[in-house]
């Protein structure tokens, strides 16, 4: 059995956030300046991917938090099968891969880990879907490849019903 060359763990003091650069200033700034504050305020969880032998080097990260979905914003084919009250969801608010790791599959690893973590708590808490806020059209295309669908009122916000995975 081979072990993974990567580790995904909650953001901690040993991670070198200052050196992270993904090519998007807003995402870089979030990790460098705001992420630890969001954790302290209990509004988001931040997960870091690094190489197993170099845990301080941040190759990518994502954030998770809770969200509720207004059923009326979902496509008609889906909303007619659901109750008319807000649905519980997990928000994948940010996902970024360092410039040095683009094209290596780290984005897929981060997305898979986020989904796995979310599905892991479903025995204790109901979560209808994972929601992502795509930062641009390229990100919309990326998430669509994995089965995410746009909300009717916001093409940059996409969702993936978790029952479609299980």
Q: Cβ(154)–Cβ(114) under 8 Å? A: no
Give 144's Cβ-side CA count (13 Å radius).
11
Q: What is the span of the domain harbouring residue 140? A: 6-164
**If you average pLDDT over residues 141-150, what whole number do you get?**
95
Residue 113 placed within a domain: yes
Number of domains in the chain: 1
Look at strands 87-97 and 154-161 and give their pairing.
unpaired
Q: Specify the CATH number for the domain of residue 40.
A: 3.40.630.30
From 120, 153, 156, select the one nearest 135 (Cα to Cα): 156
pLDDT of 63-118, one tens digit each? 999 999 999 888 888 888 888 889 999 999 999 999 999 999 999 999 999 999 99
Question: What is the H or E stretch that residue 8 is in?
Answer: strand 6-10
1, part of any domain: no
Per the listing, tokens 């995904």 go with 8
For residue 55, tell me if it sits in a domain: yes
Give pTM, 2 decimals: 0.92
């Amino acid at each position: 059995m081979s072990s993974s060359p990567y580790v995904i763990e909650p953001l901690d003091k040993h991670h070198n956030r200052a050196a992270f650069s993904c090519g998007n200033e807003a995402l870089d700034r979030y990790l460098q300046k705001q992420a630890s504050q969001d954790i302290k305020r209990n509004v988001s969880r931040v997960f870091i991917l690094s190489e197993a032998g170099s845990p301080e080097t941040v190759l990518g990260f994502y954030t998770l938090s809770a969200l509720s979905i207004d059923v009326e914003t979902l496509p008609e084919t889906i909303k007619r099968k659901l109750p008319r009250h807000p649905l519980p969801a997990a928000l994948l608010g940010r996902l970024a891969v360092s410039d040095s790791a683009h094209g290596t599959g780290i984005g897929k690893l981060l997305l898979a880990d986020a989904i796995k973590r979310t599905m892991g708590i479903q025995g204790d808490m109901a979560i209808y879907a994972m929601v992502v806020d795509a930062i641009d059209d390229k990100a919309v295309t990326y998430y669509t490849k994995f089965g995410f669908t746009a909300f009717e009122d916001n093409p940059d916000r996409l969702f993936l019903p978790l029952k479609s995975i299980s």
